[in-house]
């Protein structure tokens, strides 16, 4: 009798325990999948530098920055998302520099005229700063880091008030294009005179047309959630951009042309090692001021000792090249990187060794046109090599680079750059 009661008691307890377990239904599975998708999309937004809200994505890159001219630069910006409209968008930002005590802003908007080719027309009004000698490709994908290493030490900026209208068009899945018409008022923040045709320009107006193409022939795409998404980031990639400035059109003072080219190639090895090659070239002709020439991505501050120059290494910059040391109207750079497989010391501690070599060559015609700045040209080959040990502590690491070749400096210490790196991924 006791045995029977014991068996009944066990069965009752088992039934009770089973009854307390939640029953998994198709709705529960669907909800779990949906939550997972939402989490993935949220992390993708954060990785691209946006904090998503209902109708508006906050742009994280405008929150806090620092450079030598503005000091602390802080503000807010963002863009409307698909919940607001899949056909229209509004974007903009407003920031304040605490050192120069000036407000900068952008107001823009666009509308899509063809969904299949993702064709957008966009207008913008910008009142901001731009680094002298910098060049950007219109078709570049948005690139976001929690802080921009080179920006910390840049001191040569020019003010610009730019009005633009652009059209973005997908010729094919592998070929993207963007064309822009713009007028700009340029005012250097430093003493500078541009001498041309017996005229002296300390400020000037420009009317420009830009056309940019980005070709990714080896990337693959699939349709997910009714949207075309890149499933394989194929290499090599090619980007080409042509810029033309017209004189006497809409008040433009100068005429010139620029042709910029970049190709990036990566080799993924079986042991998780990665080799990357980046080639960038540009040529400018005509009456082109120094604000729109090339500086070859320097990232070294002018200080006496190695430790005084200790700062943050950039991702694609010359660590031993001093800011404002070189300007060119034609140049080319080659960067070679080989990242070895991470050292798996523990589950959380996986430092990575990266070998780096960089080369630059260029020149400039009519250097006497540019008054107020002292600089060299890259008519001899500029060379630097070094290494990085990344992800030592909380994404931070160390880098070392040495300058040699045609622009090796007499003082041994001046050829050395010792910095820390920062690499983090979501």
Gap between the Cα atoms of 273 and 337, Å rounded: 11
What DSSP string describes 368-409?
Answer: GGEES---B---S-EEEEEEEEEEEETTEEEEEEEEEETT--
Planar angle of CA 177, 178, 179, nearest 5 degrees: 130
CA 205 vs. chain centroid, Å, equals: 27
Cβ atoms of residues 83 and 56 within 8 Å? no
Query: How are beta strands 157-172 and 88-97 bridged, if at all?
Result: unpaired
Which pLDDT score, from 0 to 100, does residue 8 have?
40
Strand partners, 337: 276, 356
Cβ atoms of residues 83 and 107 within 8 Å? no
CATH 2.40.160 fits 116-422, yes or no: yes
Element spanning 353, H or E: strand 352-363
Gap between the Cα atoms of 75 and 335, Å rounded: 34
Every domain of the chain with CATH number 2.40.160 lies at 116-422
Which pLDDT score, from 0 to 100, does residue 49 have?
80
Q: What is the pLDDT along the chain (426 residues), one digit of tens a residue?
A: 444 444 444 444 444 444 444 555 656 555 555 555 556 666 666 667 889 999 999 999 899 999 999 999 999 999 999 999 999 999 999 999 999 999 999 999 999 999 999 999 999 999 999 999 998 999 987 665 666 788 888 999 999 999 999 999 999 999 999 999 999 999 999 999 999 988 999 999 999 999 999 999 999 988 776 666 778 889 999 999 999 999 989 999 999 999 999 999 999 998 889 999 999 999 999 999 999 999 999 999 999 899 999 999 988 899 999 999 999 999 999 999 999 999 999 988 999 999 999 999 999 999 999 999 999 999 999 999 999 999 999 889 999 999 999 999 999 999 999 999 987 655
What is the distance between the terminal CA atoms of the chain, rounded to a whole angstrom?
63
Gap between the Cα atoms of 35 and 33, Å rounded: 5
Which pLDDT score, from 0 to 100, does residue 424 have?
66
Element spanning 309, H or E: none
Query: Is the dihedral angle over the CA atoms 358, 363, 369, 373 positive or is it negative?
Result: positive
Which pLDDT score, from 0 to 100, does residue 147 have?
61
Gap between the Cα atoms of 7 and 193, Å rounded: 99
- Max CA pair span of the chain: 118
Query: Is the dihedral angle over the CA atoms 364, 370, 371, 372 positive or is it negative?
Result: negative
Q: What are phi and psi of 211, to 5 degrees?
A: -130, 125
Phi/psi class of residue 310: alpha, beta or left (left: φ > 0; alpha: ψ in -120 to 50)? beta
Planar angle of CA 241, 247, 248, nearest 5 degrees: 140
Exposed e or buried b for every residue in 199-210, given b needs 16+ CB within 10 A? eebeebebbbeb
The total number of residues shown for the chain amounts to 426
Which pLDDT score, from 0 to 100, does residue 16 have?
42
Gap between the Cα atoms of 77 and 62, Å rounded: 6
Which pLDDT score, from 0 to 100, does residue 89 have?
97
Residue 350 is given by DSSP the state: -
Gap between the Cα atoms of 162 and 128, Å rounded: 9
Gap between the Cα atoms of 368 and 370, Å rounded: 5
């Amino acid at each position: 009798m006791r045995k029977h009661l014991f068996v009944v008691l066990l069965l009752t307890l088992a039934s009770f325990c089973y009854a307390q377990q939640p029953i998994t239904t198709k709705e529960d599975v669907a909800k779990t999948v949906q939550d997972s998708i939402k989490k993935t999309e949220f992390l993708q937004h954060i990785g691209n530098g946006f904090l998503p809200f209902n109708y508006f994505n906050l742009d994280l890159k405008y929150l806090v920055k620092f450079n030598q001219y503005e000091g602390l630069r802080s503000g807010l910006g963002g863009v409307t998302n698909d919940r607001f409209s899949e056909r229209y968008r509004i974007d903009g930002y407003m920031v304040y520099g605490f050192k120069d005590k000036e407000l900068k802003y952008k107001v823009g908007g666009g509308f899509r005229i063809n969904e299949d080719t993702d064709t957008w027309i966009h207008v913008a009004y910008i009142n901001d700063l731009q680094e002298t000698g910098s060049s950007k490709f219109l078709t570049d994908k948005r690139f976001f880091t929690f802080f921009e290493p080179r920006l910390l030490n840049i001191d040569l900026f020019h003010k610009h008030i730019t009005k633009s209208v652009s059209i973005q068009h997908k010729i094919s899945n592998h070929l993207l294009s963007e064309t822009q018409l713009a007028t700009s008022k340029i005012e250097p923040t430093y003493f500078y005179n541009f001498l041309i045709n017996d005229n002296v320009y300390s400020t000037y107006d420009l009317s420009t047309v830009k056309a940019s193409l980005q070709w990714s022939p080896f990337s693959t795409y699939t349709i997910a959630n009714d949207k075309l998404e890149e499933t394989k980031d194929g290499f090599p990639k090619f980007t080409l951009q042509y810029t033309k400035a017209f004189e006497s059109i809409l008040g433009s003072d100068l005429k010139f042309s620029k042709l910029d080219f970049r190709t990036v190639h990566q080799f993924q090895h079986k042991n998780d090692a990665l080799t990357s090659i980046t080639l960038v070239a540009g040529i400018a002709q005509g009456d082109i001021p120094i604000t729109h020439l090339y500086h070859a991505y320097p990232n070294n501050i002018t200080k006496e000792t190695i430790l005084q120059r200790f700062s943050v290494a950039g991702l694609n910059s010359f660590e031993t090249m001093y800011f404002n040391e070189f300007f060119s109207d034609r140049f080319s750079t080659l960067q070679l990187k080989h990242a070895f497989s991470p050292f798996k010391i523990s589950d959380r501690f996986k430092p990575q060794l990266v070998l780096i070599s960089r080369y630059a060559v260029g020149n400039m015609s009519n250097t006497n046109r540019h008054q107020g700045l002292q600089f060299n040209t890259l008519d001899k080959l500029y060379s630097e090599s070094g290494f990085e040990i990344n992800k030592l502590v909380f994404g931070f690491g160390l880098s070392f680079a040495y300058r040699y070749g045609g622009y090796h400096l007499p003082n041994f210490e001046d050829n050395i750059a010792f910095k820390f790196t920062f690499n983090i991924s979501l």
